[in-house]
């Protein structure tokens, strides 16, 4: 019983440390594209959102979008995101994606869009990792595993720029994060996202 408690506490402590470090990175990265003059911004917006395999495997991501073509009511965009999620007692995943998508806006402020792309996923075990050496389990350094991911999402939301004059958009989406290889197979992770996009130099 004591050993089980120690193992559980150790896992929780490791997850908390990893989560805190990743959050600090996510919070700092979008600011790199935000200069003193909003007109000189490298990106259209910054996004911060909850991301997870439902609510039992929580995570977050931060990212930015930039316009490829389109206007006020229909937009073709590209985006980049950096995020993570925690699968308790199993693994922690850190991902970096490059995506493209389309978004339609309506006169009442509602939005509908789809986006997808390619990315990199690095996973770490949710506890100590061991290998057998001379018939004895020996703890080793967990360098994680590298995988390709294919994110595909459908998204709805509300653009506050339309009627409220606020340079922000709320969004919520559902989709899959397809991992490869997973034991030489494709593994779809059902996922949800919900967050806020803040636009540079608008609504002021």
76-107 core/surface letters (b: 16 or more CB in 10 A; e: else): ebbbbbbbbbbbeeebbbbbebebebebebee
From 21, 18, 87, 33, select the one nearest 197 (Cα to Cα).
33
Nearest Cα residue to 149 out of 95, 190, 99, 194: 95
CA distance 177 to 189: 5
The separation between the first and the last C-alpha atoms of the chain, rounded to the nearest angstrom, is 60
Amino acid 204: pLDDT: 44
Would you give the DSSP letter of residue 36?
A: S
Query: What pLDDT is attached to residue 33?
Result: 46
159 or 9, higher pLDDT: 159
Name the nearest CA neighbour of 177 among 47, 49, 18, 53.
Answer: 53
What pLDDT shows up at residue 138? 87
Q: What is the mean pLDDT of residues 116-128?
A: 93
Reading the block at residue 78, the tokens are 């590209």
Average pLDDT, stretch 97-106? 96
Residue 8 has pLDDT above 90, yes or no: no
Using alpha carbons, list the distances in angstroms from residue 197 to 49, 106, 151, 169, 174: 8, 17, 19, 5, 17
- Give the pair of three-digit tokens for residue 49: 């959102």
Question: Is residue 68 within 8 Å of 76, Cβ to Cβ?
Answer: yes
pLDDT mean over 110-129: 94
In this prediction, residue 181 carries a pLDDT of: 84
Q: How far apart are CA 161 and CA 147, in angstroms?
A: 38
For each of the domains in the chain, give its residue range(s) and CATH number, in order of start: 2-35+43-199 (2.40.160.20)
* 11-58 per-position pLDDT tens digit: 445 545 555 555 555 445 444 444 445 455 567 999 999 999 878 899
Distance of CA 30 to the CA centre of its chain: 13
Q: What is the pLDDT of residues 149-177, one digit of tens each?
A: 999 999 999 999 998 889 999 999 999 99
Predicted pLDDT at 135: 86
Please provide residue 112's backbone torsions phi and psi, each rounded to the nearest 5 degrees: -145, 135
Which tokens belong to 77? Answer: 């965009």
Give 21 or 9, the one with higher predicted confidence.
21
pLDDT at residue 114 is higher than 60: yes
Q: Is the pLDDT of residue 7 over 50?
A: no
Residue 120's pLDDT band (cuts 50, 70, 90): very high
Alpha carbon distance 158, 170 (integer Å): 5
Q: What is the pLDDT of residue 6?
A: 38
């Amino acid at each position: 019983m004591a050993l089980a408690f120690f193992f559980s506490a150790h896992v929780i402590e490791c997850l908390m440390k990893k989560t805190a470090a990743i959050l600090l990175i996510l919070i700092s990265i979008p600011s790199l594209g935000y200069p003193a003059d909003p007109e000189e911004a490298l990106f259209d917006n910054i996004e911060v959102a909850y991301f997870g395999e439902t609510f039992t495997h929580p995570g977050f991501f931060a990212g930015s979008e930039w316009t490829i073509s389109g206007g006020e009511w229909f937009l073709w965009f590209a985006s980049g995101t950096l995020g993570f999620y925690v699968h308790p007692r199993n693994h922690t995943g850190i991902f970096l994606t490059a995506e493209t998508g389309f978004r339609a806006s309506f006169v009442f402020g509602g939005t509908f869009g789809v986006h997808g792309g390619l990315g990199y996923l690095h996973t770490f075990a949710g506890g100590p990792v061991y290998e057998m050496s001379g018939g004895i389990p020996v703890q080793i350094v967990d360098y994680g595993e590298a995988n390709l991911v294919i994110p595909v999402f459908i998204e709805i939301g509300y653009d506050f720029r339309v009627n409220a004059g606020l340079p922000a958009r709320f969004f919520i989406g559902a989709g899959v994060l397809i991992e490869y290889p997973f034991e030489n197979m494709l593994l779809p992770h059902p996922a949800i996202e919900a967050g806020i996009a803040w636009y540079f130099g608008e609504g002021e």
